[in-house]
Amino acid sequence: MIVETLAVGPLQVNCFIVGCPSTKAAAVVDPGDDAERILNRLAKLGLELKLIINTHGHFDHIGGNRAVQAATGAKLVIHASDVPLLNLAAGHAAAYGLSCESSPPADQQLADGDLLQVGELELKVLHTPGHTPGGVCLLGGGHLFSGDSLFAGSIGRTDLPGGDHDTLIKAVRSQLMTLPADTVVHPGHGPDTTIGREKRINPFVGDRS
């Protein structure tokens, strides 16, 4: 699996390029901004974008949807419960004194357990509500793209509209903390970690929490 990370936008969202080495098909996870950088990197890697995956609908994770889709024709997917956030993203950005290009509508609405094909790669959708109602993580090839559900040493904030602390804790513990310890976690912000590390040290969802 090809995994490339680009920190994009004013909130430094981790945008991930996930590529199949055999077929050169690719997915982009959370193109929050800087669409030109994302597209240039795809071209340099020789990858053809097939999927744009939003782990959730907050403006800092979806701001590049329109430009990336317009340039590639890739299919846009997001969990059904976060579809309304796509329409509200510009307003949410303005509340922070920022701007965000509106997103096109989703081509497919995701549900827990769905399998997304990227060439010969397969990404499993794990629904982890709590940061937003439709937050998801993506699991494949020993890698977990955790959006704003799980961070290195922390979890996503739950004080925004639609957030719920108890729901997020339950989802992360049941869906993520049961994965193999060597699973590499790629969060929506900040450094990578592993499930094993988070089980040891995470004060919210680890073994000692």
Report the CATH architecture of 2-201: 4-Layer Sandwich (3.60)
Give CA–CA dist 117/133, Å, rounded: 24
* pLDDT digit string, tens, across residues 140-188: 999 999 999 999 999 999 999 999 999 999 999 999 999 999 999 999 9
Read off the pLDDT of each residue in 84-113 and give the average, rounded to a whole number. Answer: 93
Tokens at 187, concatenated? 């969060």
Q: Kindly tell me if the per-residue pLDDT of 51 is higher than 90.
A: yes
For residue 191, the tally of other CB atoms under 10 A from its CB is 12
According to DSSP, the residues that pair with 137 across neighbouring strands are 126
Residue 144 is inside which H or E element, if any?
A: strand 143-147
Sequence ranges of the domains in the chain: 2-201
